[in-house]
């Protein structure tokens, strides 16, 4: 099962690290506790839309960009899951089947 909160946290953490910024800097700018921001980044807490907006603003990122990245990652995870399921299914035989006429 895909947890959206985990994907959101992954994107936020990745973008923060790309900027070379600390949790402390972002938590102060977003006016959210350091511990709570850490929990959001680790996918343990669900960010409300208001909190997500504050974090995005602190990171100087449009929320739409963060959500697009989350959506892209979700598509990759789903595609990988479908591929894994396809590999587990028994393959149909490629040889022609015998036809038996009845009657």
- 34 assigned to some structural domain: yes
Using left for φ > 0, alpha for ψ between -120 and 50, and beta otherwise, residue 20 falls in: left
**Is the residue at 96 inside a domain?**
no
Asked if residue 63 is part of any domain, the answer here is yes
Is the predicted pLDDT of residue 97 greater than 90, yes or no? no
Q: Does the residue 55 lie in any domain?
A: yes
The per-residue pLDDT of the chain, averaged, comes to 88
Nearest to 15 by CA among 68, 79, 60: 60
Section 28-33 average pLDDT = 97
Structural domain boundaries enclosing 46: 4-87
- Fill in the DSSP letter of residue 2: -
Q: In the chain, how many domains are there?
A: 1
Residue 96 pLDDT exceeds 70 = no
């Amino acid at each position: 099962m895909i947890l959206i909160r985990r994907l959101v946290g992954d994107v936020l953490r990745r973008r923060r690290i790309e900027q070379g910024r600390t949790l402390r800097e972002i938590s102060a700018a977003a006016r959210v506790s350091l511990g709570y921001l850490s929990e959001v980044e680790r996918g343990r807490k669900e960010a409300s839309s208001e909190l997500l907006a504050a974090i995005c603003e602190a990171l100087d990122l449009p929320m739409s960009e963060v959500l697009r990245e989350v959506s892209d990652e979700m598509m990759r995870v789903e595609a990988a899951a479908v591929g894994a399921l396809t590999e587990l299914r028994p393959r149909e035989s490629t040889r022609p089947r015998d036809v038996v006429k009845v009657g």
